[in-house]
Amino acid sequence: MTVQTRLFLAGLAFGCGVAAVIVAALLARSVLG
Amino acid sequence: MRTRLAALLAAAGALALPAAASAHAVLLRTVPQASVVVNTPPAELRLTYSEAVEPRFAVVSVTDAAARQETAGPPRRSAADPNTLVVPLDRVREGWYLVYWRAISADGHPVRGAFTFAVGPNPGPAPQFVIPSTSETAATPRLLAARWLTFLSIMSAVGLAVLRLATARPVARRVPDASLRGVTAAFAVAAAVGLAAAPVYLLLATADFALRSWWRVGALVPLVRVSAFGRGMFDLWVAFALFAAAAAFAIRIDRPERERRSVAELVAAAGAAAAAAAVLLVPGLAGHAAQTSPRGLSLVLDWAHLAAGSVWVGGLLGLLVLWRSAPPASRVACLAATVPRFSNAALVSVLVLIGSGTGAAVIHLPTLASLWQTSYGRALLWKIGLLAAALVLAAANLLRTRGRLRRPATGERAAVALRRLVAGEGLLVAAAVFAAAVLSSLPPPSKALAALAGASAHVGPGRIARTVEKGGYTFAVEVAPNRAAMPNTFAVHVTHDGKPVRGAEVVLTFAMLDMEMGRQAYRLTETSPGTYAAAKPALVMVGHWSLSFDVTPPGGRQVTVLLVDTARG
């Protein structure tokens, strides 16, 4: 696996993490008001 | 120091979140008023709840004495007030009408109730309406099984990812020809089961809310995000899919044979950890934690509880997989490299599990007795018992097997014993997750239970005529007919030294004891010297109620008489 591929997959993983946090934060805002 | 300060500020911020008023939707007002005779036929029925209930899941029927349906259309939300449902009526004639309603609360619990009203001027005597069941549960076997599978697979996937990326990582370096592929495969299976089980659970719950068959998927899908509970579970699915992807990428680029991680590996692991943290927050937001005061503390405890449980259950599963997938010659070495690290993680998890569980129990249970007197408390006792049994096995592993694994003479036998103990521990923890699925499907006990130590008498079912002495006064309480979901007459005759007490202020407060429904208070009017009465449809459902008569005589101090009433339908 090339360095570029590894960095790309790491970026994807980090992006998924940020997206999951955003999903939870939006739900928290709608529930807690 | 800075980290501690940040943690303290985060905790203070979480605790400062606004408190929820009540866990379940309560019918606050109706137009026409319950058990009142109106002179002009109403064109519509208006029901105002304590929260915005979804009209597409609400069922409202209005029937006359001959059980003829009088609604002219489905319920819709009032444009002026989101908490009010409006139901159009046919042109109703003189007579009595029964209103029967069902709504879904924000946390997914169904609530039902009934009341009557009459159209005058001469409606005649109130008929004996046949009232359908006013109790309903979210803890059906089908929903419980789906909920258990969803949570067990999600928790296992998170715990297996932690084991693969952190706890068991050194195995690949320390043990020649050992591989972590088995753990990776177990993570993939748990993630796949979770991704399949969550939408099935969501569809089953939506089918129950909408009173439709669950296999009518086409009709149910548009309704999935309609309820607050459905939105929460849908977001859990989305967040879990993002976590599964993040963890899969992080595992794909991880090179466990190298001790130091590269920047890419660290970034990917951070993404997976953030996604896991987000996933474990969602069940609390969609369940009891977000509806129980103090909400901030409840959510933090729920998150910590789920995180600790995930590390434990996923780790146990991972240890078994590691044992099975390792070459027979390397099994003992694999376990010797993993078990001490896992034992430390499991010990911390268990301490967090006990601490957060105790904290949550204190918040949810108003009295110690509600632990064995309510179904919620009994499910909690089952969960505690199962976890205690798992802890006994965990302690045996920690204290005996861990040390023997390292010694060549006892290693092989210790590994066999460890595998058996870990399998037993895993089964007990999986059973405890089932108890948690039951627990989170039951309504938590009412806060009103806390006041019951001062109850003057336990009364009902059936008509009540009870005399209570308190504070030098005599209170003769009458409730007739003391039946749920219909108007009852509540009266109290107050005397002091044998003489009626006139001009007192008497407030009667109702609280449901079987689930949190908020309180309703009514001022009683003096109908004859010393007798205060009102006719109200206040006992809106079958079960146990606290009736609190707050009597303030003119120029005197307030005296409270508390009765625990059992009302049947």
Query: Any idea what DSSP says for residue A10?
Result: H
B256-265, B446-455, B508-517: segment of lowest average pLDDT: B446-455
Contact across the interface for B274 and A30, Cβ inside 8 Å: no
Q: What is the ipTM of this complex?
A: 0.97
**pLDDT tens digit string along B131-182?**
666 566 677 888 899 999 999 999 999 999 999 999 988 888 888 888 889 9
pLDDT at B515: 67
Q: pLDDT grade, residue B340 (50/70/90)? A: confident
Residues B184-201, mean pLDDT to the nearest whole number: 96
Cβ pair B145, B448 in contact under 8 A: no
- Is the pLDDT confidence value at B429 over 70? yes
Per the rule left: phi > 0, alpha: psi between -120 and 50, beta: everything else, B485 is left
Residues of B with CB under 8 A from a CB of A: 17-18, 106, 228, 231-232, 235, 238-239, 242-243, 245-247, 249-250, 252-253, 262-265, 267-275, 277-279, 281-282, 285-286, 290, 295
Predicted confidence (pLDDT) per residue in B268-290, tens digit: 999 999 999 999 999 999 887 88
CA distance B231 to B222: 12
Residue B110: cis peptide before it, omega within 30 degrees of 0: no
Whole-angstrom distance, CA of residue B422 vs CA of residue B408: 21
- Specify the range with the lowest mean pLDDT, choosing from B115-119, B286-290, B444-448: B444-448
Residue range B320-331, pLDDT digits in tens: 999 888 888 888
Q: Given B238, B239, B250, which is nearest A13 (Cβ)?
A: B250
pLDDT digits (tens, 9 = 90+) for B497-526: 889 999 999 999 988 777 666 677 889 999
Among the residue ranges B54-63, B404-413, B419-428, the one predicted with the least confidence is B404-413
Q: Is the pLDDT assigned to residue B6 strictly greater than 70?
A: no
Q: Which of B269, B277, B285 sits opposite A28 (nearest CB)?
A: B285
Q: Does the distance separating the beta carbons of A27 and B253 come in below 8 Å?
A: no
Burial of residue B160 (CB within 10 Å: 0-12, 13-18, 19+) is buried
Q: How confident is the model at residue B1 (pLDDT cuts 50, 70, 90)?
A: very low
**Is the confidence at residue B377, as pLDDT, over 60?**
yes
Q: List the beta bridge partners of residue B76.
A: B86
Q: Does A13 touch chain B (CB under 8 A)?
A: yes
Q: State the average pLDDT over residues B443-466.
A: 79
Q: Which amino acid would we find at residue B56?
A: R
The tens digit of pLDDT for each residue in B342-367 reads 888 988 999 999 999 999 988 888 88
The CA distance from B263 to B281, in Å, is: 27
pTM (2 d.p.): 0.77
Average pLDDT, chain B: 85
Residue-level pLDDT at B2: 43
Asked if A30 is an interface residue toward chain B (Cβ–Cβ < 8 A), one would say: yes
